[in-house]
Chains A and B, each alone.
Chain A
Amino acid sequence: MPLLEIHGLRKYFGSVVAADDIELAVESGEALGIIGPNGAGKTTLFNLIAGRLFPDAGTIRLDGRDITSARPHERCIAGIARSYQIPQPFETLTVFENLLVAAVHGRHKTEAGAAQLCGQVLERLGLLRRANALAGSLTLLERKRLELARALATSPRLLLLDEIAGGLTESECTELVGTIKELHASGVTIVWIEHIVHALTAAVGRLIVLNFGRKIAEGKPAAVMGSPDVRQIYIGIEA
């Protein structure tokens, strides 16, 4: 049984179709990449999976359980975590507190258990020395790391990454891809939206392409990127 199973998912904003009959299955332990031009419905898809938006039709299942109408915090507790394209830390809380909130409320951990987990996550993402800084004072790279760290503090089974490599320098990007590969190797299932295609293809085993809310291609990254349809969409976009 797939970890995430999406069936016939539709979402309209007025006459704009943001998700058009999307079918998607993500196996446990998989790393899936999603690409597509701006406005293709990538972020909408994440919003639907994480519960920020509710679909007009279709179902979403996590591990066989129907979560289509579950509220966002219930989905977090069920094991879904997401990072935003523009990091959105709790700026008035410290870095450590940002993670504690996620671990205590998202995973129902005790304070002591949560503190230990959060320490490990911060160390893994190289944020330990910033643990007591206010999240509002971090640099962009640190914010991106915090965004990822906070998602991990909920001990997710499914991690949704939204353009986490955007705005980083080449070396920062390489570092981040390394971290994400490590996470994947440790068993976290990943779905990753990214414009920086070479970062994405370095980490994922399967790629889907969205355009106008529709899935237009799916397969191994190299094969998908070689297909004429996709090349046409991506002319002038690919870095």
Chain B
Amino acid sequence: MILWTNALIEGVLLGGLYALFAAGLSLIFGIMRLVNLAHGDLIILAAFVVLSVAAWLHIDPFAATLAALPIMFLAGFALQYCLLNRALGRGLLPPLLVTFGLSIIIENGLLELYSADSRRLHGGSIETSSIALGHAVSVGVVPLLTLASAIVVILVLNFIFYRTALGRAFRATADDLEISQLMGIDHPRIFSVATGLAFVVVTIAALYLGMRANFDPTIGPERLLYAFEAVIVGGLGSFWGTLAGGIIIGVAQTVGAQINPEWQILAGHVAFLTILVFRPRGLFPRAVD
């Protein structure tokens, strides 16, 4: 019984990480209908940026992430402004091809710069500390922080979307791009700010990815897959749905692993497919957001 409880709690916390993977993807797709196939590699890229900043400045990964956030925001802004905006508005295929190419470039660029060695972000004593919940059940501080960060990120994104002028511009461009321009919205700039924000979320996700497990330049595409599954299970356009989607994939994986360690990844995909069969639009499509 305790093993199952542990698996469940672990799964919920892991879901926080998947929600962080997915939130940036969801943000970009929701606003500009751009499926960013490089999203997973961008998470890995961000993890290497955090790693490098931590090494250069001799600071811990949390401080390094804070330092990396503005850099990553600008990188996202520039990427959208100079490259991705040009791929938009010409059908589905160009953005897919461009981000697919970007994915290959990032992966190989990282291999060239950092080699194929596994890395890890070392957070010191916080990595091993845990909080006991009753006897025999305890949760790690880092996974707990991951879930808490996911919730904070979603609260902040929802605040931006529904309570600020920037968020109204996001929703207006998503609703009707052409009319939004007639209302004075400079959509290339709005899209760039959105991608900058997505990069901020990606960097936060990278911090917890790097502290949870080893990473190397080639593991991006699998993170992209989990992110996709979380977004689709949750329902497009709803950030809370994305969190729920992440948690469902996370719980399926840890419970699957509890049954048989080889079933971890499989169980996540099975849960995803099952939900897709019964709720093709996801659990919380935009209408109820």
Interfacial residues, chain A to chain B (CB-CB below 8 A):
50-52, 71-73, 76-77, 81-82, 84, 88, 90-93, 97-98, 100-102, 104-108, 111, 150, 154
Which residues of chain B are within 8 angstroms of A105 by Cβ–Cβ distance?
Answer: 165, 169, 183-186
Set A82, A92, A98, A108: member contacting B182, Cβ < 8 A? A82
The CA-CA distance from A93 to B221 in the complex, in Å, is: 35
**Is the beta-carbon distance between B181 and A104 smaller than 8 angstroms?**
no
Which residues of chain B are within 8 angstroms of A111 by Cβ–Cβ distance?
Answer: 165
| Interface contacts beyond A73-B186, A90-B180: sample of 18 additional A-B pairs, CB < 8 Å, sorted by A | A51-B181, A72-B178, A72-B181, A73-B184, A76-B182, A77-B184, A91-B175, A92-B174, A92-B175, A92-B286, A93-B175, A97-B168, A100-B165, A101-B180, A101-B183, A106-B184, A107-B184, A108-B184
Which residues of chain A are within 8 angstroms of B171 by Cβ–Cβ distance?
Answer: 90, 92-93, 97
26 pairs across A/B with beta carbons < 8 Å? A71-B181, A72-B178, A73-B187, A76-B181, A76-B182, A76-B183, A77-B184, A84-B179, A88-B179, A90-B175, A90-B179, A92-B174, A93-B168, A93-B172, A93-B175, A97-B168, A100-B168, A101-B168, A101-B169, A101-B172, A101-B183, A101-B185, A105-B183, A107-B184, A108-B184, A111-B165
Chain B residue nearest to A136 in the complex (CB): B175
Which residues of chain B are within 8 angstroms of A82 by Cβ–Cβ distance?
Answer: 182
| In the complex, B117 has a CB within 8 A of chain A | no
- Find residues 93-112 in chain B having any chain A CB closer than 8 Å to their own CB: none
The CA-CA distance from A117 to B234 in the complex, in Å, is: 38
Query: Smallest distance from the beta carbon of A98 to chain B beta carbons, Å?
Result: 8
| In the complex, B176 has a CB within 8 A of chain A | yes
Which residues of chain A are within 8 angstroms of B286 by Cβ–Cβ distance?
Answer: 92
Which residues of chain A are within 8 angstroms of B178 by Cβ–Cβ distance?
Answer: 52, 72
Most A CB contacts (10 A, CB to CB) among B174, B175, B183 go to B183
Query: Smallest distance from the beta carbon of A74 to chain B beta carbons, Å?
Result: 8
Interfacial residues, chain B to chain A (CB-CB below 8 A):
165, 168-169, 171-172, 174-176, 178-187, 286
When A52-B178, A90-B171, A92-B175 are in contact, do A102 and B183 touch as well, CB less than 8 Å?
A: yes
Query: Smallest distance from the beta carbon of B29 to chain A beta carbons, Å?
Result: 15
Chain A residue nearest to B289 in the complex (CB): A92
Query: Smallest distance from the beta carbon of B183 to chain A beta carbons, Å?
Result: 4
Chain A residue nearest to B174 in the complex (CB): A92
When A88-B176, A90-B175, A92-B175 are in contact, do A72 and B168 touch as well, CB less than 8 Å?
A: no
When A93-B168, A97-B168, A111-B165 are in contact, do A102 and B175 touch as well, CB less than 8 Å?
A: no
**Is the beta-carbon distance between B181 and A90 smaller than 8 angstroms?**
no
The CA-CA distance from A104 to B169 in the complex, in Å, is: 9
The CA-CA distance from A104 to B175 in the complex, in Å, is: 17
Q: What are the 3 A-B residue pairs with the smallest beta carbon separation, nearest first?
A: A106-B184, A72-B181, A76-B184
Which residues of chain A are within 8 angstroms of B184 by Cβ–Cβ distance?
Answer: 73, 76-77, 102, 105-108, 154
Which residues of chain A are within 8 angstroms of B187 by Cβ–Cβ distance?
Answer: 73
The CA-CA distance from A84 to B187 in the complex, in Å, is: 20
**Is the beta-carbon distance between A106 and B183 smaller than 8 angstroms?**
yes
Query: Smallest distance from the beta carbon of A213 to chain B beta carbons, Å?
Result: 23
Query: Smallest distance from the beta carbon of B62 to chain A beta carbons, Å?
Result: 34
Which residues of chain B are within 8 angstroms of A98 by Cβ–Cβ distance?
Answer: 172
The CA-CA distance from A98 to B185 in the complex, in Å, is: 12
The CA-CA distance from A150 to B176 in the complex, in Å, is: 14
Most A CB contacts (10 A, CB to CB) among B169, B174, B186 go to B186
The CA-CA distance from A65 to B279 in the complex, in Å, is: 54
Query: Smallest distance from the beta carbon of B171 to chain A beta carbons, Å?
Result: 6
The CA-CA distance from A101 to B180 in the complex, in Å, is: 8
Chain B residue nearest to A91 in the complex (CB): B175
Which residues of chain B are within 8 angstroms of A107 by Cβ–Cβ distance?
Answer: 184
**Is the beta-carbon distance between B176 and A73 smaller than 8 angstroms?**
no
Which residues of chain A are within 8 angstroms of B172 by Cβ–Cβ distance?
Answer: 90, 93, 98, 101
Which residues of chain A are within 8 angstroms of B168 by Cβ–Cβ distance?
Answer: 93, 97, 100-101, 104
The CA-CA distance from A73 to B175 in the complex, in Å, is: 16
Query: Smallest distance from the beta carbon of A4 to chain B beta carbons, Å?
Result: 16
**Is the beta-carbon distance between B181 and A73 smaller than 8 angstroms?**
yes
Query: Smallest distance from the beta carbon of A136 to chain B beta carbons, Å?
Result: 9
Chain B residue nearest to A83 in the complex (CB): B182
Query: Smallest distance from the beta carbon of A82 to chain B beta carbons, Å?
Result: 6
Chain B residue nearest to A84 in the complex (CB): B179
The CA-CA distance from A52 to B187 in the complex, in Å, is: 14
The CA-CA distance from A100 to B169 in the complex, in Å, is: 10
